[in-house]
Amino acid sequence: MINLKKKFLVATLFSLALLNPSTILAAGNVGITLDQANAIVKAAQAKALKQGTLMNIAVVDAGANLTAFVRMDGAFIGSIDISIKKAKTARLFNMPTGKLGELAQPGKPLYNIEFSNDGLITFPGGVPLKDKEGNIIGAIGVSGSSVEDDHEVAMAGAEALK
């Protein structure tokens, strides 16, 4: 059994060695920059202020790692984790969290998916972030008001990339 594991490890390492750095980069950690994430947060905050809402705003990179986070003064503390999970959910499934919610209803193909991956969020407020070429480079998650307001703020943040 140990011999089989060694062979698998060697084969995996050999396969990785054949990839050139640009292939590894393209397949892995190409994503949002901190400057882009901050611009997205700023645009989302502006929309929240225009709405008169107080939001938690999270931006994750292509690997679903937290890149930027803002809790507006007075924003609901209970929404901190929700905003981060909305961003991660949108990135993991490359779709808005509200769309995932439609697929997660009883009788639908992804029923109960919200119980996987340490908890997913299946209501609006998380959207994938795309670069000018249409590649998904991260996601934004917003929480603190109604799901409609959350989604509008997330979309305003996403528009900052265009």
Q: Is residue 115 a contact partner of residue 89, using CB atoms and an 8 Å limit? A: no
For the whole model, what pTM was predicted? 0.81
In this predicted structure, what is the pLDDT of residue 29? 52
What tens digit of pLDDT does each residue of 17-36 get?
334 333 333 445 569 999 99
In this predicted structure, what is the pLDDT of residue 162? 84
Minimal CA–CA distance to 30: which of 127, 135, 133? Answer: 135
In this predicted structure, what is the pLDDT of residue 7? 39
What tens digit of pLDDT does each residue of 79-98 get?
999 999 999 999 999 999 99
162 vs 49, 81, 155, 158, CA distance in Å?
21, 27, 11, 8
Q: Is residue 143 a contact partner of residue 150, using CB atoms and an 8 Å limit? A: yes
Please list the residues that pair with 138 across neighbouring strands: 61, 129
Q: Is the dihedral of CA 106, 117, 126, 161 positive or negative?
A: negative
Sheet holding 56-61, edge to edge: 66-71, 56-61, 136-143, 126-130
**Sequential pLDDT tens for the chain (162 residues):** 554 444 343 333 333 333 433 333 344 556 999 999 999 999 999 999 999 999 999 999 999 999 999 999 999 999 999 999 999 999 999 999 999 999 999 999 999 999 999 999 999 999 999 999 999 999 999 999 999 999 999 999 999 998
Q: Is residue 80 a contact partner of residue 57, using CB atoms and an 8 Å limit? A: no
d(CA 57, CA 141): 6
Radius of gyration of the chain (CA): 18
